[in-house]
Structure 1
Amino acid sequence: MPTYRYVFFDLRGKGEIVRLCFHAAGVKFEDVRLDHDSWPENVRGREASPFGQLPYLEIDGKKFAQSIAIAQYIAREYGLYGDNSLENLSIDGVVGLTIDYFTRWARATYGPEDAKRRAELQAKVYSEDLPKFLQQLEELLIENKTGYFVGNKLTLADLKVYTTLENSFQEFPDMYTKYPQVLAHRKKVGSQPGIAAYLSSRKPTPV
């Protein structure tokens, strides 16, 4: 088996999906967590990373960038993709849906410098974008009828939804009562042995 060294900030963010994939698959890796505040001044660190950004994964010393590309690699290698090309297409579609929502959330959370405009965007995310996203997820789960988004096993799609919803689930747990399939899915993913063990020991972070 290759030797894996994963480098990302000491937070969840867009890079947490890679950690979840490793733990779900039961694959050992070195989880290197860097201080986010020191990264802009860490010139040597930026130069050492592909494209000058995080996260990246070292596979036997060779570096590869982009969180989704890394997660897709792990999913293909360790049984977290579908059983055929159509299932893989569906998985990638769910992953893309999560990215669409996360982009809107990030824009509202970190984008505008104007406090009033930021508040307006955040209100829209939680009153419109998040309910729409949850309804889409609910319908996908109802259609598939297995408790997973695609097929009858845990895949990258399930893990990506889980990590994308972490902040909103912490902030607005009552909202999820309107989406029982999504709520049940969250419990199902969180109870997977590798995921449950990781979550029980994971350091709490704001994002």
Structure 2
Amino acid sequence: MSGKPKLYYFDGRGRMETIRWLLAAAGVEFEEQFCETREDLLKLRQDGHLLFQQVPMVEIDGMKMVQTRAILNYIAGKYNLYGKNLKERALIDMYVEATSDLNEIIMHHPLQPPENKAKHLASIIEKATMRYFPVYEKALKDHGQDFLVGNQFSRADVQLLETILMAEECKPDILSKFPVLQVFKARISNIPTIKKFLQPGSQRKSPLDAALIPKVISIFNIGNE
């Protein structure tokens, strides 16, 4: 096997996307093996590779890692994206857990039944603009640095940018009342590794479209597990 991390998931965003973002931000090249069918996922289970019978799984440094947070924590620690001390790490964790909560809500939007989509979208916009983005706007303003924590780039910045861009897919002007976040978005997007990942042809995945939804439901047996 090559020295590159190998990612096991379906060919879409889901819970693997933040892992892709973090590896890309660290400048780490990675390979992907996609679960194209339910049988592909079952084979990973039968081969004993999935500790808790679930993907994402990342093969890295001789380990077959599962559980998204564990994988992200490892990557962040390995590539110096996790602060300089325990207090910075705690603050990063608080920011990351909140962005992950919003990210999760947005991620599930395409899977909503048609009759619930408008209500779910309104909930995303309300939570983003009333609960989450005001906190980051104030934190960046009060901190007075280019980054959320300390004076260096961390996973908190990566994951906030990812979530901002996802929120803008729901409502393009969602940052209209958050000038500090607008500047933050532009600044972090221009970090060379991030800028590369945002270019067409990268391993960044597109939003889940209607054509892919039945495939995802089939692979993961959604609604029955």
Instruction: Place the TM-score, normalised by the shorter chain, in its bin.
Output: 0.7 to 0.9
Partner of 1:139: 138
Asked if 2 retains the 8 angstrom alpha-carbon contact of 1:6 and 1:32, the reply is yes
Query: What letter matches 1:192 in structure 2?
Result: I
Partner of 2:11: 10
The answer to whether the aligner puts 1:160 opposite 2:132 as a matched pair is no
**Percent sequence identity over matched residues?**
28
Measured in 2, the distance between the counterparts of 1:33 and 1:42 equals: 9
Q: How far apart, in 2, do the equivalents of 1:43 and 1:142 lie?
A: 48
Taking only aligned residues, the RMSD between alpha carbons, in angstroms, comes to: 2.4
SS in 2 for 1:81: coil
Aligned-pair CA distance for 1:79? 0.9
Q: 2:214 corresponds to which residue?
A: none
Contact 2:103–2:166, Cα closer than 8 Å, also in 1: no
Please report the TM-score for the alignment, with normalisation by the length of structure 2.
Answer: 0.79
SS in 2 for 1:183: helix
Cα distance, 1:40 vs structure 2:
6.8
Q: Report the counterpart of residue 68 of structure 1 in structure 2.
A: 69
Q: Matches of 2:14 and 2:39 in 1, distance apart?
A: 17
Between 189-198 and 82-91, the greater mean CA deviation after superposition: 189-198
The higher relative CO (CA closer than 8 Å, separation ≥ 6) is in 2
Q: Which residue in the other structure is 1:94 paired with?
A: 95
Structure 2: unaligned runs, 5 residues or longer: 209-225
Instruction: Assess, with a 3 A threshold, how the Cα gap between structure 1 residues 122 and 188 changes in structure 2: closer, same or farther.
Output: same
- What's the counterpart of residue 50 of structure 2? 49
Work out whether residues 147 and 184 of structure 1, in 8 Å CA contact, stay in contact via their aligned partners in 2. no
1:12–1:205 contact (8 Å) kept in structure 2? yes
Q: Write the letter of the residue equivalent to 1:102.
A: N
Q: Give per-residue Cα distances to partners, 1:153-203, cap 9 Å, x unaligned.
A: 110111111112222213322221211111111112211111111221326
Distance 1:152-1:59 versus aligned 2 partners, 3 A rule: same
Greater CA deviation, 185-194 or 46-55? 46-55
Aligned: 1:150 with 2:149: yes
Q: Which runs of 5+ in 1 are unaligned?
A: none
Q: Which range is displaced more, 138-147 or 22-31? A: 22-31
Residue 191 of structure 1 is matched in structure 2 by: 190
